[in-house]
Amino acid sequence: MRNYLYHNLEMEKPNPCLEQMVADPFYRRIGEDLKRRKAQNRWREIKPWLPPRIDLSSNDYLNLRSDPAVLAGAHQAMEDYGSGSGASPLLFGFLPCHQELLDDLLRWKNKPAGMLFNSGFMANQALVRHLPGPNDLILADRLIHHSIAQALTQSRAAFKRYDHLDLAHLEELLEKKSGRYETVFVITETVFSMDGDYPDLKSLVNLKNKFPFILILDEAHATGVYGPTGGGLAEEAGVLEQVDILVGTLGKSLASMGAYILASIPPVIDYLINFSGEFIYSTFMAPSQAGAARAAIGVVQSANDKRVRLKVDSIWFREQLAEMGWERDAFDSPIIPIHFADEREAIKIGNALLEKGIQTGIVRPPTVPEGTARLRLSLHSGVDRPDLKTVLEVLKSWRK
């Protein structure tokens, strides 16, 4: 309907049926909204993905989507249990392959209880909408993922967003709100999806010791990339035991699809199983997804050489950008942003790279705040230095 409506609104030849449709308030309203979005350089459309020469748009940080072991894991699970789960998890859609995956995640992340979801969006919605009560407070990083930001407005609890990565501001809020709520929840991503930056987790845990709260970490973009076994930033910082609830996805470094919530206290999981409609009322993930993710965990845990090289390349690439005059941040994640005040410039340079066979993410408001459009470059272990030098040459030419 989206493309059909928009393109027909632009047709030069009159069409009585379309004219009548456009006269309807509903169709007129959405048509005007779509025109406005295009005029703002914020038009989105779905296009078939064709493999570029150099792909810097994927979150497959260890390049495992075509790994033989991962493909074999997916194939074996499908052979054993079929192409789909056939039901919601509480109506026998939770199969042995799902339990095996969950057991592997619990051992890896050192948590006693957990559950699987069909997507990270659903997992975050379930957490924020159902766990905090009406007498509770949620403190969330200002740039938290949309799945959490949206759920904050649907939660029974009050909420406040602290300044991005600003633990001093968080401490100020904790001190100010201390004693006024039954339970305080603090929610942050570890590696943030748009800029690749991350909080000081050791300092965050120190705050937790000073002002008791439930700490929820979203490790979606850190899993596989950080920690001696790829367990995430909490593993690397040595604070995994102090994290109350961990969220992560299977669709990034684990090269599959779906998500998990792991908790230090089993009743948290029991509560979500009983009260989160996001889990209860959805046909469960396909066996192939569970099989692929389980195989990927085994690969990730022994891929420290890849992690080290990815970090080294990420730092090196930032240094090269800084030498060319681009702003450089102080982080070492494989997510590297190049910021533009004018989103039209981000579109132009993104298209210039694409003409050279280099695919990046062009990110514009409302996904990011006004005036912070960017190219989102996502490095992975399948990209080598010659590839990155090619990218830098195009950026250098554009910079000149």
In whole angstroms, give the CA distance from residue 60 to residue 224.
9
Which is the catalytic residue, given 193, 253, 256, 378? 193
Which is the catalytic residue, given 189, 236, 278, 313? 189
How many CB atoms neighbour CB 154 within 10 A? 10
Which is the catalytic residue, given 59, 124, 147, 333? 59
Q: What are phi and psi of 136, to 5 degrees?
A: -105, 170
C-beta separation of 102 from 115 below 8 A: yes
- Is residue 45 annotated as part of the catalytic site, yes or no? no
Which is the catalytic residue, given 98, 109, 130, 252? 252
Question: 260 forms bridges with which residues in the sheet?
Answer: 116, 248
C-beta separation of 162 from 188 below 8 A: no
Amino acid, res. 63: N
Which is the catalytic residue, given 145, 208, 306, 380? 145
Nearest to 220 by CA among 237, 205, 201, 198: 198
Which is the catalytic residue, given 98, 111, 221, 306? 221
Within the chain, where are the H helices?
A: 2-9, 16-23, 25-39, 68-81, 96-109, 120-130, 146-152, 167-177, 201-210, 233-237, 266-275, 277-280, 287-301, 304-323, 343-355, 385-399
- Is residue 252 annotated as part of the catalytic site, yes or no? yes
Which is the catalytic residue, given 55, 60, 195, 218? 218
Pairing mode, strands 113-117 and 214-218: unpaired
52: its two tokens: 């570029």
- Is residue 200 annotated as part of the catalytic site, yes or no? no
C-beta separation of 23 from 15 below 8 A: no
In whole angstroms, give the CA distance from residue 90 to residue 275.
12
C-beta separation of 294 from 212 below 8 A: no
- Is residue 33 annotated as part of the catalytic site, yes or no? no
Which residue has tokens 């407005």? 153
Q: What are phi and psi of 249, to 5 degrees?
A: -110, 160
Residue 250 C-alpha from the chain's centroid: 10
C-beta separation of 208 from 200 below 8 A: no
- Assign residue 58 a region (left: φ > 0; alpha: ψ between -120 and 50; beta: otherwise): beta
- Is residue 189 annotated as part of the catalytic site, yes or no? yes
In whole angstroms, give the CA distance from residue 45 to residue 149.
23
Residues with catalytic function? 59, 145, 189, 193, 218, 221, 252
